[in-house]
Amino acid sequence: VVDVESACVVPCPPDAPYIALSYQWGTDQKIKLKKESISIMTTPGFFNTADGQPAQTIRDAMTVVQQLGYRFAWIDALCIVQDDVENVIENVDRVDQVYQGAHLTIVAAAGQNAYHGLPGVSTSRTERQLRVLIKGITISSMLENANRAITFTRWNTRGWTYQERLLSKRLVTFTASQVFYQCDRGCDFQEQYPCTPAKDFTHTVLDPLARLDLENRNIWDVYAIAVAEYTRRSLTDPMDKLRALSGILNYLQQPFGAPFLCGIPSTLFDVGLLWKPLGLCSRNNSIFPSWSWAGWD
């Protein structure tokens, strides 16, 4: 994890609370954990040096972690040894534990890459409420709701971010217009004006595309909805087709009672073979078998 107080990478202390970051790389990052940089990145104060400044979104996330009263953060670029295949696979296979174990996840939903920053932290918000005072009464326009502000972002079109969103217990999402808070129990909050900070929240209907709702849906429906939404998203590397969903598959393995085979639950394998595309699809490689949805784009 990243120790935001010491400004370096450290082993996570047992049972220490930490915050995870969900964001999009977009382009390659200059500062990332590699075999040759482990010693310097574990040196206290490294991220405060001129040569140790991570991408702006990561720097902003570290600021938010401190302001929320936490000390540790899990950020893939700084916590996974990027040129160590075994370390990458180990972390990818445990991504469900990483995001489920986080006290909350910071979501950087604005911008196109890791250098955009978090609106309201280092960058200005591009959307603001219009306000007018009429006879002592302040009237303001409503900001976008979470469905529009988050759903139509580039972050929400990426394959890797889907499981990060579903597996997190609590989300603090930074968009171009405002910050949203959402939890897996349906207690959500969004900025409006004016508002009372205490007890000003809403209970929302669980969105099947945004939450793994095992309490109100059968296990097959949860799996089918997740795969349908996931396969709409884009991946830079086709080899990641199953890796980027491994956290959700790990999470569903226990209720299904058996592992998955190329993305299909082995306990309902015959039913799993009945998938069909909703539109045109292509098969540009043979990495995954043609009988699996993972074998098609």
Q: Tens-of-pLDDT digits for all 297 residues of the chain?
A: 999 999 999 999 999 999 999 999 988 899 999 999 999 999 999 999 999 999 999 999 999 999 999 999 999 999 999 999 999 989 888 899 999 999 999 999 999 999 999 999 998 888 778 889 999 998 888 888 777 888 889 999 999 999 999 999 999 999 988 899 988 777 777 776 555 555 555 555 556 667 787 777 899 999 999 999 999 999 888 888 999 999 999 999 999 999 999 999 999 999 999 999 988 989 887 889 999 999 998
Torsion angle, alpha carbons of 53, 57, 63, 66, to 10: -110
Q: Is 224 a member of any domain?
A: no
Does the residue 150 lie in any domain? yes
293 in a structural domain: no
Query: Which H or E run includes 224?
Result: helix 219-230
Q: What is the pTM of this model?
A: 0.87
Answer whether residue 85 is part of any domain: yes
Look at the chain and report how many structural domains it folds into.
1
Residue 296 lies in a domain: no
Range of the domain at 44: 2-204
Domain assignment present for 297: no
Alpha-carbon distances of 50 from 46, 47, 54, rounded to whole Å: 9, 8, 10
Rounded distance between C-alpha atoms, residue 238 and residue 294, angstroms? 9
Rounded CA gap, 268 and 19, in Å? 36
Has residue 77 been placed in a domain?
yes
In a domain? residue 285: no
